[in-house]
Amino acid sequence: MIVRVLLFASLCVMSRGLDNGLALTPPMGWVSWERYRCNIDCENDPDNCISEQLYMTMADLLVSEGYKDKGYEYVNIDDCWMEKQRDANGSLVADRQRFPHGIKWLADYVHSKGLKLGIYEDFGTFTCGGYPGSKFYLQEDAETFASWGVDMLKLDGCYSGIDDMEYGYPAMSFFLNQTGRPMLYSCSWPAYVVFYGKIPDYKKIASYCNIWRNYADIQDSWDSVRGIIEFYGNDTGNFSLVAGPGNYNDPDMIIVGDYGLSYDQQRVQMAMWAIMSAPLLMSIDLRNVKPEAKALLQNDYLIRVNQDSHGTQGKRIMKNGAMEVWTKNLGFDDKGMAFAFLNLNDGGAPFEVRMPLYQLGLNEAEGYNMTEGFTGKFIGVLKPHDIINASVDPSGVWMGIAYFDC
Ligand code: GLA
């Protein structure tokens, strides 16, 4: 073990850090985990099991249903794609029944659609689902992924320790760089550090990873979404400050279009993930998305806020009971702002907000072009002391966008 750690330490010194030029804006795409989990029963459930067919179907739908045109480009394999054993050379092998053509073939298919392929591994001995982990095989696995044409790696942290992660995640960053193939690097590292009650060194993490999970897994429920928003609002360790082109905090998958959220709650997830500059990785059944959910997922105004080139992560600036105010500066000159009034109360009646612009930090005397955030509807030119009136549904959100046009 000491030898291992020393090896990692020397690699760390050798590593120039992340230099793949990716994730200049938050990555967008589709990922299997939240919706399809570790369903490997292709015999009884062929349409929903983790198989090449599932990823091909979702790739097809990203294109045919218009998601790709809106920017959703990654098709991400999550856990449970492997054989339980490496091959005689120590290489990872995709499950031979469920991925009969192998991952390279699947990557070629996904690329032929103009999309990108992501894959999942784990830094520890096993993946969270019990498949072979990358421990002792980091370099081999990075090379395997590159040879398959993989475009993104999510490296989980089950079956390992947070002390080893300090060396291991940077080592994998180094090996990914060494392949010469740009692969977006998603690290679950800080989520484990937070789980053990510590504050991650986000600057260090950002120098090795493009995106990183820092909180518990999302589930198909409002409680789960609300818990994530609370964690991001608290911003313990100021992780919001590390976000920017090339680096984003990842509050986990988009579940808009799944079972658990009401329409208002789905609006909240989309608006808040836009304000938080979060990766938009949908984990839903693209074969069955209700029109209202699809419209949210493809909403141009929300996507524009999410993909703002400055990459500023929005922050909670006010909290009054269940009522919160969040703002995100837009654009390099900070002349725009997206803001959200969030009503986390489930007490039945809408909450009427009346707030002067200056309380949001909008102080330009000439005033701002104000639009409603979901529809782009022009509200008017408002000055710092003018009042915004908004009615915010229970477990709902009202979003506005202000531009200083001078
Ligand atoms: C962890 C991750 C999830 C998912 C599962 C797969 O729980 O946080 O996002 O990848 O592992 O087993």
Distance, in Å, from the CA atom of 406 to the CA atom of 404, rounded to the nearest integer, reads: 6
90-132 pLDDT, tens digit per residue, is 999 999 999 999 999 999 999 999 999 999 999 999 999 999 9
Contact 253, 218 (CB under 8 A): yes
Residue 189 identity (one-letter amino acid):
W
Burial of 236 (0-12, 13-18, 19+ CB in 10 A): exposed
Calculate how far, in angstroms, residue 265's C-alpha sits from the geometric centre of ligand 1.
23
The ligand 1 atom at the shortest distance from the C-alpha of residue 129 is 12
Of 182, 171, 220, 174, the C-alpha closest to 35 is 220
Q: Using CA positions, which residue lies closest to atom 5 of ligand 1?
A: 128
Top pLDDT among 11 and 301 is at 301
Among 82, 155, 156, which is best to mutate for testing ligand 1, by the most ligand atoms less than 8 A from CB?
Answer: 156
Q: Using CA positions, which residue lies closest to atom 3 of ligand 1?
A: 217
Cα-based distances in Å from 354 to 142, 176, 359, 385:
53, 50, 11, 11
Calculate how far, in angstroms, residue 329's C-alpha sits from the geometric centre of ligand 1.
31
Calculate how far, in angstroms, residue 309's C-alpha sits from the geometric centre of ligand 1.
29
Residue 406 pLDDT: 63
Pocket of ligand 1, beta carbon within 6 A: 33, 78-79, 120, 127-129, 156, 188, 217
| Terminal CA-CA length for the chain | 61
Domains of the chain: 2-306 (3.20.20.70), 315-403 (2.60.40.1180)
Local structure of residue 82 (DSSP, 8 states): B
Calculate how far, in angstroms, residue 157's C-alpha sits from the geometric centre of ligand 1.
9
52-100 pLDDT, tens digit per residue, is 999 999 999 999 999 999 999 999 999 999 999 999 999 999 999 999 9
